[in-house]
Each structure stands twice: as C-alpha cells, then as structure tokens.
Amino acid sequence: MASPNDSSDQDSMKQQQLYRKRGPNLLLLLPLIYAPVLPLIRITLKRQPVLRDRLFYGVLAGAFIHGTYLVTDLYDVESK
C-alpha cells in the first residue's frame, strides 16, 4: 500500500493543478463574442425580418443555454 507522502501522487496532483491554471477559461470569454453579435444581427438583417428574428432568438437561446451550463457546472464543483 502506498504511503500518503508518495512522490508520484504529489507530482500528478501538481501537474493537474498546473494544467488547470494554464491560460484563461475560454468558456467564460464566449459572451464577449455573442454579445456584440446580437445587435449586429438586428442591424444587418433589417430587410429580412423572418431570418433576423430566427437567428436573433437562436443566438439568444444559445446564450441562455451557455449560461445555464456554466452555472450548473459551478454548482457541481462547489458541491464536491
């Protein structure tokens, strides 16, 4: 049985911590992309109202789904 001070376990834990801290979490930066897209959809597709509304509401639904995913993932991490 391995002792609690086993060096391989400590090395693997350090590698996991370094891997997690490397760079920004790109999922949290996604709103910087779809937030400016929403007004651009409304402005550029002014002459095609059906397409404009479908695309706008589709992106908006995707934003809400993305936010829900992030919140549930956050609660999942806190509960562990």
Is residue 17 included in any domain, yes or no? no
Per-residue pLDDT of the chain (80 residues), as tens digits, is: 555 555 666 666 666 665 556 777 788 888 898 899 999 999 999 999 999 999 999 999 999 998 898 888 777 766 76
Is residue 18 included in any domain, yes or no? no
- The parent domain of residue 28 ranges over 24-79
* Residue 23 in tokens: 């760079």
Is residue 54 included in any domain, yes or no? yes
Full-prediction pTM beyond 0.75?
A: no
pLDDT value of position 18:
56
Number of folded domains that form the chain: 1
Is residue 6 included in any domain, yes or no? no
Is residue 15 included in any domain, yes or no? no
What is the length of the chain?
Answer: 80
d(CA 34, CA 29): 10
Task: Give Cα separations from 56 to 19, 33, 60, 76, 77 (angstroms).
Answer: 36, 14, 6, 30, 32
Is residue 1 included in any domain, yes or no? no
